[in-house]
Amino acid sequence: MQELSDAKWVYSFNGSSSTYDLSPTFKTNVERFIKALKESGARVTVSATLRPPQRAYLMHWAWMIANRKIMPAKVPSYPGIAIKWDHGTLDKSNSAAKRMVSAYGMQGLHVAPALRSRHTEGNAIDMNISWTGTLKIANASGETIEIESAPSSGMNSELHKVAKTYGVIKFLGGFKDVPHWSTDGRQMKIHNLILACLVFSGCAHSNVDKTPAKSLGIKTFMDAADNCQYFAGEWDSNLTKERQRYIEKQVDKYCGEAKRLKEKLKVEYKGNADVEAELNNYDFD
């Protein structure tokens, strides 16, 4: 039996800050790395691990309905979630979705939370690391590495090399997301196969202008779009207010840039069916 959408759904499928909930291989790698850190005297604070895909589903579609981006009856179902988004009238459905948005604390989020991320896969962890003095830490092979360089935090490049031996990779975007570590250090890519092809030589789309200026414009758009998608997948009501505000600022920055560049590319590549179709796969509302 289905239950109508409302704020009570916010308490279902809570996110985790336990390494126990990570995917099996990544869990083992992370726990070995954290053990080495603690044995070396470093301080480790984990703030987020698994974000259940069910939670991402509820947050995403509540935001979409509340912001009138989709009709409630058109929301796809999700296995194991007996929620009824359609309350019979658009106003009632929209009001219930707004209560969910408010309960999740998403009022400051101007893009729908992503449905998929490394966190929903159990392949990412947000943790802060710090130490004082010289850090003497064992890598995965048991070799002791002395780290004397600054900073004495998770942003230390020498520490990143040690973490990599454990299969724990620091986010490759640098200071854009300080606490984020994952299986590959990368944000999830969205539909950019054709656009990626356009940036590099050897593609079949000979009718596309591949001059440096054009290629740079496409690459800039792809970077902004991927960063938009990445940060939209990082937001959660379980995070600290400070972390939420930071993510909201990044979402506004990158999604706003991606939306602007998308419109520019649509004009530049008007009439090119491949590019137009690919651009239409990106939605920054």
Q: Which amino acid, residue 198?
A: L
pLDDT per position as a tens digit, 122-157: 999 999 999 999 999 999 999 999 999 999 999 999
pTM: 0.77
CB 78 within 8 Å of CB 52: no
What is the structure's pLDDT at 160?
A: 97
Tell me the helices (H) and strands (E) count for the chain, helix number first: 9, 8
So what's the pLDDT on residue 284? 63
The residue ranges of the chain whose pLDDT is under 70 are 187-215, 284-285
- The answer to whether 165 touches 141, Cβ cutoff 8 Å, is yes
Spatial separation of the C-alpha atoms in residues 119 and 248, rounded to whole Å: 17
What is the tens place of the pLDDT at every residue in 62-103? 999 999 999 999 999 999 999 999 999 999 999 999 999 999
List C-alpha distances in Å: 234 to 73, 103, 175, 194: 27, 18, 15, 26
Could you tell me if 2 and 82 are in contact, meaning their C-beta atoms sit under 8 angstroms apart?
yes
What whole-number distance in Å separates Cα of residue 189 and Cα of residue 181? 16
